Amino acid sequence: MRTNTQLLIILIGLIAWLVIDLTMDFGKKTEFANLQEFAVTDTADIQSITIQNQQQVSYLKREQNSWTINNKPAEDGMIKVLLSILHQVEVKRLVPKNEVQQVNATLQKRGIQVTVNTDGKDFSFVTAGNQDRTVSYGQIDDQRPATLYLPGYNSYVTGIFEVQPNDWRHRAIFRSSAHSLKSVTVSYPNNPAEGFTILPDEQKWKVDHYPAADPKKIFEYLSQFGYFQVDQYIDKGQVPQVDELLQGEPSLVLTIDDINPQQKGTLELFETPTKEKLMAGLLNHQQIVLIDKKRVTGIFKKKQDFKADSSK
């Protein structure tokens, strides 16, 4: 009987401790003013977003009608996703006490510092994910870390902040119109005779020194530069095989002259093995790009390909 009484006392004590601990844990949650502690109420007021990991910095800045990433045009769709996440992100729960030390270590080792500038004021937090990239953690200053989520979605919030600087960039490298184009030149270093230059000719276009060219075929060729995009930007040293490839002679060199200075550019294309789906390129002699081979097929025209059908 005494044993049962002792067990009962111990059980009551455990229940009391559990209630007190849960109450304290719930009280801890009030450290966050609200569940939207990590959220930005009005993303229209955001002037810039700085995302810094252990190796790189992505500086996203709002311009007059667009955004830039490290002073280069940013992809509109990516920015919209980022702003949506910053607006909707919520605290799901505080990290359990027995996991705080481990999560703090993760945030210190792999944490990504996010700084949002709104009307001249900075708001910062650190975020990192678990090894499986299924749980997102966030921490403001030295507060107890919390798990973050998007209500209604099975989402990995930290993922958007893991995007590399180059992947924020706008994929379109040429956006020229028939009204802004001044000339398009294609040269083949290994076969100069097959190169050509397209120039305006009153209300039409012509292939320089090739009167047999069909204006309709020329216009079809130029139309691809209304929106010509790459699949990926990569940095030197990122893919050694590509670095080695770019040491050789390009298969084709495309030069676009446009009234708009931002649309001017040179693209050198280098052959890649047949099994590869992407072709390597060098944009403006500096930026390495990868482009779907199907997309670049249209660029590889020879002068005689513009010959009018009636002239054949």
Domain presence at residue 54: yes
Residue pair 160/53 in contact (Cβ under 8 Å)? The answer is no
Query: What's residue 54's pLDDT?
Result: 87
Report the percentage of the chain scoring pLDDT > 70: 88
Burial class (CB in 10 A: 0-12, 13-18, 19+), 266: middle
Average pLDDT for residues 293-310, to the nearest whole number?
Answer: 92
Of 98, 85, 211, which is closest to residue 136 (Cα–Cα)?
85
Query: What's residue 32's pLDDT?
Result: 52
Burial class (CB in 10 A: 0-12, 13-18, 19+), 76: exposed
Residue 111 CB neighbour total at 10 angstroms: 23
Domain presence at residue 23: no
* CA–CA separation, 75 and 284 (whole Å): 19
User: Of residues 159 and 22, which shows the higher confidence score?
Assistant: 159
Query: What's residue 99's pLDDT?
Result: 96
Average pLDDT for residues 11-29, to the nearest whole number?
Answer: 43
Q: Are strands 196-201 and 204-207 parallel, antiparallel or unpaired?
A: antiparallel
- Between 26-30, 91-95, 134-138, 209-213, the lowest mean confidence (pLDDT) is in 26-30
Domain presence at residue 11: no
**Residues 98 and 41 placed together within one structural domain of the fold:** yes
Contacts (Cβ under 8 Å, ≥6 apart) of 192: none
Domain presence at residue 55: yes
Domain boundary among 168, 200, 220: 168
**Residues 51 and 144 placed together within one structural domain of the fold:** yes
pLDDT digit string, tens, across residues 103-118: 999 999 999 999 999 9
Query: What's residue 8's pLDDT?
Result: 43
pLDDT at 30 over 50: no
User: Of residues 178 and 276, which shows the higher confidence score?
Assistant: 276
**Residues 147 and 36 placed together within one structural domain of the fold:** yes
pLDDT at 25 over 90: no
pLDDT at 309 over 90: no
**Residues 150 and 191 placed together within one structural domain of the fold:** no
Query: What's residue 34's pLDDT?
Result: 72
| pTM over 0.85, yes/no | no
Query: What's residue 27's pLDDT?
Result: 43
* CA–CA separation, 160 and 154 (whole Å): 14
**Residues 154 and 192 placed together within one structural domain of the fold:** no
**Residues 192 and 266 placed together within one structural domain of the fold:** yes
**Residues 209 and 274 placed together within one structural domain of the fold:** yes
Q: What angle do CA 294, 215, 219 make, to 5 degrees?
A: 40
Domain boundary among 168, 198, 219: 168
Average pLDDT for residues 266-276, to the nearest whole number?
Answer: 93
**Residues 202 and 294 placed together within one structural domain of the fold:** yes
**Residues 159 and 116 placed together within one structural domain of the fold:** yes
Domain boundary among 123, 144, 168: 168
CA distances (Å), 45 to each of 61, 114, 115, 119, in order?
12, 16, 14, 6
Domain presence at residue 43: yes
**Residues 141 and 87 placed together within one structural domain of the fold:** yes
pLDDT digit string, tens, across residues 169-181: 999 999 998 889 9
* CA–CA separation, 224 and 101 (whole Å): 55
pLDDT digit string, tens, across residues 35-94: 999 999 999 999 999 999 989 999 999 999 999 999 999 999 999 999 999 999 999 999
pLDDT at 13 over 90: no
Burial class (CB in 10 A: 0-12, 13-18, 19+), 165: middle
- Find the domain containing 276 and state its range: 172-311
**Residues 251 and 182 placed together within one structural domain of the fold:** yes
* CA–CA separation, 114 and 82 (whole Å): 12
Domain presence at residue 90: yes
Domain presence at residue 109: yes
Average pLDDT for residues 241-270, to the nearest whole number?
Answer: 96
pLDDT at 159 over 60: yes
Domain presence at residue 206: yes
Query: What's residue 310's pLDDT?
Result: 66
Domain count along the chain? 2
Q: How confident is the model at residue 154 (pLDDT cuts 50, 70, 90)?
A: confident
**Residues 198 and 277 placed together within one structural domain of the fold:** yes
